Amino acid sequence: MGRRLEGSVAKVETDLIASFDYDVARALRQLNSVETDLITSCPLTPERALNVRGNSARRNGFNNFVSFDGIGEWLYAVERSERAMAARTPRIASLLPSATEIVCALGLADALVGITHECDYPPAIASKPRLTSSRISHQTMSSAEIDHAVRSQLDGHGSIYDLNEELLRELKPDLILTQELCDVCAVSYKTVSRAARMFESEVRVVSLEPNTISDIFDNILTVGRLAGKEDEAMRVVQELTARLDALKTRVAHLARPRALLLEWLEPPFAPGHWVPEQIEFAGGDPSFGFKGSPSRVTTAEEIKAYDPEKIVLIPCGYYREDIFAALEKARLPKGWRELCAVKRGEVWATDATAYFSRPGPRVVRGAEILARIFHPEIFGPPDEEEAVRVPAALMRE
């Protein structure tokens, strides 16, 4: 890895290094010439990076600016930190449900010292200390009310999550897994990074930011590398890849139904990130989605023009029973009842949280469930525990 780091550092032009608020890693991510797998996390604060042994970096006259030498030394410090951490099983705090699932898939459940309020899989982690809480409850609010509350918080530069920083310090993790992809999905990386600076001991803060299925697999490998479980991580990724390849082969010559997966009900959100890939692997038409990009609000007119043959409801963070409860309060887009899928009774609800919202190993199962919805004549109907048809009486415009 040293040679890769050396080569990457050599490619960085000093005049491209941007100023930053709280984290060297955030500035480095802006430099396209640096390999992303070397800079997805920061085990050291900027101050520590400037004071590591042998560091020739220096503060210059500009606020919040680290010289090129300082960043180079910081990258080597990252490598040394990785080696030390991989030599033993770290104490892991997971601030992402998907990261919790990845850690457990690698056989590291016992290494988890803290998790989020949303972590519920596998069941063995149920008794772990909870480090976060939400300011918004979907149990008492409609889909539209939740959307409004979230937008209000984020527009005011607030957060919809709270982090128990005192408990986090008490648990003394060596490794904190978090994200910077979506402020709606989890506690922000900035909040976690700021909290980690108060630790007496050194802690590694790693941001997992997948946009595609390939990124999800890379995250699994990253966690495996950091936790000394590289072989197990490779085995997990190979197994998941083989399952997707099997799906791809079986649907290769099948007609692809027009598929609409809604990531939110009111307003309706067309799918993004890895979901269009799940649709494609399952043998559906993924064109009504945004691969590798965030989900987006769509309109009744756009949905009508697409006229989906299959509709799957996957509101972010919802289980199947949550979807049914939300439908009782929601108003679906105008012209809904005239859609091909609705007329044919091809509107489905799934455990979106388990198989679509969380970028972890179970996204592959999500693709397999979709294959059963899209092509039951080939794969058989979906298991009722994983997907069910939505009764027409629940769908109101």
Give the tens place of pLDDT for each residue, 7-25.
443 333 333 333 333 344 4
User: Does 183 share its domain with 74?
Assistant: no
pLDDT at 180: 74
Residue 187: which pLDDT band, with cuts at 50, 70 and 90?
Answer: confident
Higher pLDDT, 51 or 356: 356
For residue 7, tell me if it sits in a domain. yes
> What would the mean pLDDT of 170-190 be, rounded to a whole number?
79
Which residue range(s) make up the domain with 364? 252-394
In a domain, 227, yes or no: no
Q: Pick the residue with more confidence: 369 or 49?
A: 369
User: Where would I find the H helices in 87-188?
Assistant: 97-105, 143-155, 165-171
pLDDT digits (tens, 9 = 90+) for 108-149: 999 999 999 999 999 999 999 999 988 766 666 777 776 666
Residues 292 and 385 in one domain: yes
Sign of CA dihedral 322, 325, 331, 334: positive
Domain total for the chain? 3
Residue 192 within a domain = yes
Q: Pick from 213, 148, 207, 140: which is nearest to 180 by CA? A: 207
**Secondary structure (DSSP) of 310-330:** EEEE--TT--HHHHHHHHTT-
